[in-house]
Amino acid sequence: MSGSDLAVAAVAVACFYALWWAYSLSLRLRRIERLSKVDSLTGLGSGDWLQTERWPAALRSGRPLGVAYLDLDHLKITNDTRGHAAGDQYICTAADALRQAVRRGVDEVFRSYQAGDEFVILIHGPLGDLHRCAESLLRRLSERGVSASLGLAYTPVTEFVPARAELRLAAEAACRQAKKRGGGCAVIAGHDPGTQARDESGDRGVWSPTGSTASTVQNLLVDAAISELPSRPTSP
């Protein structure tokens, strides 16, 4: 083999290893990116991905937007009495129920924090019956043996306005109201963040899923959760 042939072979080998290294690096980067977007326990979208990408995209979508904020009940008791493995299974069961309850390819479900029991659902597009939506989510969880407190906020306003960005805070505040009611129920924010209008009653409704300790849908008056929202500007 001549010297020129050896040089060509050496270049070919170097090119092969360079391509192999680049391919391996791209696989590792994709894996890191995927891990940053997916919650390792539940397989849902991560809270970081929601905060950095999906929430800003939802605000700019130009579509009506709803946010459901859920906080699981009884997780601490489950952890204390049955162990953390049972608690993790409780979280996974809730995640699976929520994943199946939403519209695939339309709505999005996230676990807010890696070590937490809170979930956020982005509901994209028109939402006709808020009561039915909240009750359906709680019922799906109840059928799997999971209890949760739920807050739901929605606006039909499609333009990006500062108040639209407060939907997540409104849903979280409504969830806290549901928690104060003892859990296992939903509180719907009656104030539309995009306008100054209120719903027919001017208040919020609280519902418990069929089959729970409060077996019938109740219309209870609750204090405005919007007053609890921190006053801070939010940008997408």
pLDDT attached to residue 210: 40
Question: Any idea which residue has 């019938």 for tokens?
Answer: 216
List the beta bridge partners of residue 149.
71
Domains of the chain by residue range: 1-37, 38-228
Q: Which of 3-7, 95-99, 159-163, 230-234 has the highest mean pLDDT?
A: 95-99
- Report residue 219 as tokens: 């219309």
Question: Three-state SS for 213?
Answer: coil
- Residue 162's Cβ-side half-sphere holds a number of Cα atoms within 13 Å equal to 4
pLDDT one-digit tens code per residue, 134-145: 999 999 999 999
Domain 38-228 top-level CATH class: alpha beta
Contact 120, 46 (CB under 8 A): no
The pLDDT-based confidence of 161 (bands split at 50, 70, 90) is confident
The pLDDT-based confidence of 3 (bands split at 50, 70, 90) is low
Contacts of 145 (CB under 8 A, 6+ apart): 93
pLDDT one-digit tens code per residue, 116-139: 899 999 999 998 899 999 999 999
pTM above 0.85, yes or no: no
Contact 206, 185 (CB under 8 A): yes
Question: Three-state SS for 190?
Answer: coil
